[in-house]
A = this chain, B = another copy of it.
């Protein structure tokens, strides 16, 4: 059985959980307080970041993008199940470009700061970087999300799914990051109808249910968070 070292509201961890759920692969979820920099954890991933996937017979797999490639390359190929990364080169480029857009760019500009400031910092000591949320950082993230939402809306209006005809890693990455931000009530859904409709489609997939049922102690989700008709 696989083990995923993760945090419930970490968008990169959620991306991996969605991939595993889409492929119906079981994994044990273990919360890792990566900010504590446990020695045993740093041996598994010297970079000190989550998520990390532990599988038998191979080194620990660190990072959303590398885990996604690993799962794609090793999943049992089932005739009824479409892969989340297309077969042709052009399609692979576009899916990887958009997955990286969300896992790297959106994470740096929006979901990373919001989750760090509003969630992770509560658990950190001052030496670990804890303290009250940095309001300038929150303000920047809430400003930045608007152009990302417009970009998602533009993609959703021109294609069936974000990277093309089929659901792919691009949709799961975008939806994972939005789900963390939406839990915190920071997605201005009224700004882009096409983005909202696309998110409602991803949100209603069975793979999404575990994320919607998750509630953190002391941080209740936004009222509409688990609502499929928001």
Contact = CB atoms under 8 A, between A and B. Distances in A.
A159 to B, nearest CB: 13
B58 A90 contact: yes
A73 B89 contact: yes
Interface string A86-99: 00011011101100
Interface stretch (A63-71, A134-142, A209-217): A63-71
The complex is assembled from copies of this chain, and their number is 2
Contacts of A46: 101, 151
Nearest to A69: B96
Interface in A89-117: 89-90, 92-94, 96-97, 100-101, 105
Contacts of A47: 101, 105
A132 interface: no
A51 interface: no
A74 interface: yes
A29 interface: no
A62 interface: yes
Nearest to A49: B105
Given A66-B100, A100-B63, A100-B66, A73 B92 contact: yes
B59 A94 contact: yes
A63 B93 contact: no
A202 interface: no
A61 interface: yes
A6 to B, nearest CB: 17
Interface string A146-157: 000001000000
A57 interface: yes
A39 B90 CA distance: 23
A15 to B, nearest CB: 15
Given A59-B97, A66-B97, 16 more contacts: A46-B151, A47-B105, A58-B89, A59-B90, A59-B94, A60-B93, A61-B93, A61-B97, A62-B97, A62-B100, A66-B93, A66-B100, A69-B69, A69-B92, A69-B96, A70-B89
